[in-house]
Amino acid sequence: MRMKTAFDGVPLVAQAAIDTPIGPMTALATAQGLAGLWFDAQAHHPGDLDAPVDPDDAHIAAARAWLDAYWAGDDPSPIHVPLDLHGTVFQRAVWRALCDIAPGHTCTYGEVAAQVGHGAVPRATGTAIGRNPVGVIVPCHRVIGASGSLTGYAGGLHRKERLLQHEGALLV
């Protein structure tokens, strides 16, 4: 599913840039919650968004506060940011499973597939993980290959490595 298609017909209420230590991100909100959080120029970034720029939107402010706490070394819970994730039923199940991976821990694509169940296979699970619309808060960066390799990350492997180092899941 293309990201733009996921937002077709969805009333978008705000967008804003959020600076992070590993690059700027674009946040996107609906009235129900945070619908997107992408690093600039990452794979599957939806491009120009049809939403007004409003850095004071409550959902964007919650995402900014979460990211600030995360980078300060706290362990903020994703439940502190209301999410409004748009994708297929399977994608949303995978993205919910990602939220169960604790900071400082990793799991494999196969382990996420097993958690999702219903015959999910690692390859399809990996595709859904790669389409995660809310980077960092929905922690797709914590998923690694079966061999322990840092395979794939839409935001760039250098960012995945930095996020895992920050969380203590990867030695410098």
Catalytic (active-site) positions = 140
Q: What share of the chain is helix, strand, coil (3-state, %, to 5)?
A: 35, 15, 50
The tokens describing 46, both together, are: 């939806």
Say how far apart CA 148 and CA 146 lie, in whole Å. 5
Terminal Cα distance for the chain, rounded = 35
The tokens describing 150, both together, are: 């840092």
Q: Which residues pair with 30 in a beta bridge?
A: 12
